[in-house]
Chains A and B, each alone.
Chain A
Amino acid sequence: MSLHELCAVDAARAIRDKVLSPVDLVDALLERIETVDGRVQAWALVDRDGARAAARQATDEAARGVFRGPLHGVPFGAKDIFYSAGLPTEAGSKVMASFVPDYDATAVGRLKAAGAILLGKLHTTEFATSDPAPTRNPWNLACTPGGSSSGSAAAVAAQMVPLALGSQTIGSNVRPASYCGLVGLKPTFGRISTRGVMPLSYTQDHVGLMARSVEDIAFALAVTAGHDPDDPSSSRAPVPDYLAAITRRRAPRIGLLREFFERATAEVADVTAQAVNRLADAGAGVEGAKLPPTFRAVPAAAYLITRSDTASIHAERFAQKADLYRPAIRSSIEMGMLIPGDLYVRALRIRRQFRRELKPLLDRYDVLLTPTTPAPAPEGMATGDPQFQVPWSLSGLPSVTVPCGLTTSRLPLGIQLVSGTFGEAALLATAAWCEDVLGHAQAPSL
């Protein structure tokens, strides 16, 4: 196995066992980037010097038996909306050209504190909306990797880095992870601090994680989750032991949301149904489940809230630099300025009602299951359809995608699992069980 193929946890273990040096790992990944990123275009900025310096320090520390945390010496990438002290953070926008923050986003800082090494910044659609990044899908370079966390998904899938930070306001973490054949987690709203992450919606922005295994996600969540006094939306809910949780794998009770299968292409519905059959054969209890009536108002509520929030967030910058915004984000801001306040509040009330009405369903099952996307990654630059992520972004419930197979044209598909608020420990345990049954993420040939 080449070093660039190592997943985060295996790399961390090898470093701790002193059979791998962070310098060698970082060099291998930089070489991998040199080899494939000209075609994939995942990276907005590769911090070669900074990563090598951090790797040398991590190597010296490891030699002395000093390990900063569970990800000591393991490289990661961050979507280019995460502040990174001393490194440009441009959000894929001319509006932010040459902006260099003087502090790290909390999620970046916590990964560094756990010993991880920031390899660079990953392309995003402009301000995490829908004006596309240049990034291509490593499984098929004619296809989108999805968005808005386009570079995060493509870089991990192309084995340029084992772990990446993404974000999700509508469908921007779980969907690209699935399009690229990865495990992707959108935790509960408030579980990971959004401080230092350029906002799009005050009440729907979530930090997301992408990796090539559920275990890697559990490690990353363990070090990034938890209260941040500098983020007013950060939760004080206790952080469980996610690493212990994923060792307690058992066949789950699954509520199958058939409405999503009916909205998917025939091939997606068929591949997902085959995966569900394999889970059932392995012992999962599977029942059809039906979402409450509020579900039909969910997309409208989500879009009114995000448009309004985006308009408020960008108001001052937009007043000065409207012409620097690309078409989709510009239209979103302008429409957000026109949405009446009473409908914005009504959308917030619909969200709360949806959460309340979902609770009995979430109590009945360990997870709800849908295909992750209605179709595989489309060709071209458009970043794909986020409709299967919208309910969980709006409600703030945790969701994770696990690879479940390939289409006949060899594009990845996933199953999306959803659990109750702050149910990440059980959600990841179920995801790990499903991963055991369905097989681990495959790698594209590049």
Chain B
Amino acid sequence: MDRDGLRAEYAAGLRAAAERRFGAARAEALAQSIADAAGWMTDVATFPVDADEPPAFYAESSA
């Protein structure tokens, strides 16, 4: 799926989840936030993270 398609899929999923969780009125109020988050999710999902890259840990603060 291309980036635009993925973004649209994320946005639709977020919208549906927002309606279920917060109601239709809040989901509508969150329209811009949903669009922003769908963009960030697309950027993160499509960025080529190294396969052996683990998440960061607190212990690294002293490294």
Residues of A within 8 A of B (CB): 188-190, 203, 232-237, 294, 296-297, 299-301, 303-304, 307, 331-332, 334-335, 337-340, 343, 345-353, 355-356, 396, 421
Closest B residue, CB atoms, query A191? B61
Q: Are A338 and B37 in contact (CB under 8 A)?
A: yes
User: Knowing A237-B62, A351-B56 touch, does A334 contact B30 (C-beta < 8 A)?
Assistant: yes
Task: Kindly state the separation between the CA atoms of A352 and B18 in the bound complex, as whole angstroms.
Answer: 30
User: Knowing A331-B33, A350-B47 touch, does A338 contact B17 (C-beta < 8 A)?
Assistant: yes
Q: Are B50 and A353 in contact (CB under 8 A)?
A: yes
Q: Are A348 and B56 in contact (CB under 8 A)?
A: yes
Closest B residue, CB atoms, query A328? B33
User: Knowing A236-B62, A334-B33 touch, does A346 contact B49 (C-beta < 8 A)?
Assistant: yes
Having A235-B62, A349-B53, one finds 5 other A-B pairs with CB under 8 Å, namely: A299-B40, A303-B40, A307-B37, A346-B47, A351-B55
Q: Within the complex, what minimum Cβ distance (angstroms) separates B12 from chain A?
A: 12
Q: Are B56 and A297 in contact (CB under 8 A)?
A: no
Q: What are some 6 contacts across the A-B interface (CB < 8 A)?
A: A236-B62, A237-B62, A334-B33, A335-B34, A337-B21, A347-B44
> 10 closest Cβ contacts across the A-B interface?
A190-B61, A348-B55, A300-B43, A300-B40, A297-B47, A352-B56, A235-B62, A235-B61, A331-B33, A349-B53
Task: Kindly state the separation between the CA atoms of A352 and B58 in the bound complex, as whole angstroms.
Answer: 11
Q: Are A352 and B53 in contact (CB under 8 A)?
A: yes
Task: Kindly state the separation between the CA atoms of A339 and B14 in the bound complex, as whole angstroms.
Answer: 8
Q: Are B61 and A346 in contact (CB under 8 A)?
A: no
Residues of B in contact with A, size category: 20 to 34
Interface residues as binary, B1-34 with A (CB distance below 8 Å gives 1, 0 otherwise): 0000000000000100110011000100110011
Residues of chain B within 8 A (CB-CB) of A355 are 56, 60
Tell me the dominant secondary structure on chain A's binding face. Answer: helix
Q: Within the complex, what minimum Cβ distance (angstroms) separates B53 from chain A?
A: 5
Of A301, A345, A350, chain B has the most CB atoms within 10 Å of the CB of: A350
Residues of chain B within 8 A (CB-CB) of A346 are 44-45, 47, 49
Residues of chain B within 8 A (CB-CB) of A188 are 61
Q: Are B49 and A349 in contact (CB under 8 A)?
A: yes
User: Knowing A233-B61, A235-B61 touch, does A335 contact B30 (C-beta < 8 A)?
Assistant: yes
Residues of chain A within 8 A (CB-CB) of B63 are 421
Residues of chain B within 8 A (CB-CB) of A334 are 18, 21-22, 26, 30, 33
Residues of chain B within 8 A (CB-CB) of A303 are 36-37, 40
Task: Kindly state the separation between the CA atoms of A234 and B58 in the bound complex, as whole angstroms.
Answer: 8
Task: Kindly state the separation between the CA atoms of A299 and B47 in the bound complex, as whole angstroms.
Answer: 12
Residues of chain B within 8 A (CB-CB) of A352 are 53-56, 60
Task: Kindly state the separation between the CA atoms of A235 and B42 in the bound complex, as whole angstroms.
Answer: 33
Q: Are A304 and B45 in contact (CB under 8 A)?
A: no
Q: Are A343 and B41 in contact (CB under 8 A)?
A: yes
Task: Kindly state the separation between the CA atoms of A299 and B41 in the bound complex, as whole angstroms.
Answer: 11
Q: Within the complex, what minimum Cβ distance (angstroms) separates B4 from chain A?
A: 16
Task: Kindly state the separation between the CA atoms of A237 and B63 in the bound complex, as whole angstroms.
Answer: 8
Task: Kindly state the separation between the CA atoms of A347 and B41 in the bound complex, as whole angstroms.
Answer: 9
Q: Within the complex, what minimum Cβ distance (angstroms) separates B39 from chain A?
A: 7
Residues of chain A within 8 A (CB-CB) of B14 are 335, 338
Q: Are B62 and A190 in contact (CB under 8 A)?
A: yes
Q: Are A338 and B44 in contact (CB under 8 A)?
A: no
Residues of chain B within 8 A (CB-CB) of A236 are 62
Residues of chain A within 8 A (CB-CB) of B26 are 334
Task: Kindly state the separation between the CA atoms of A244 and B56 in the bound complex, as whole angstroms.
Answer: 32
Residues of chain A within 8 A (CB-CB) of B47 are 294, 296-297, 300, 346, 350
User: Knowing A235-B61, A300-B43, A334-B33 touch, does A353 contact B49 (C-beta < 8 A)?
Assistant: yes
Task: Kindly state the separation between the CA atoms of A234 and B40 in the bound complex, as whole angstroms.
Answer: 29
Q: Are A233 and B56 in contact (CB under 8 A)?
A: no
Residues of chain B within 8 A (CB-CB) of A347 are 44
Residues of chain A within 8 A (CB-CB) of B18 are 334, 338
Q: Are A350 and B61 in contact (CB under 8 A)?
A: no
Closest B residue, CB atoms, query A238? B62
Task: Kindly state the separation between the CA atoms of A232 and B42 in the bound complex, as whole angstroms.
Answer: 32
Task: Kindly state the separation between the CA atoms of A338 and B17 in the bound complex, as whole angstroms.
Answer: 7
Q: Are A339 and B37 in contact (CB under 8 A)?
A: yes
Partner of B44, one of A190, A232, A237, A304: A304
Q: Within the complex, what minimum Cβ distance (angstroms) separates A424 from chain B?
A: 13
Residues of chain A within 8 A (CB-CB) of B49 are 346, 349-350, 353
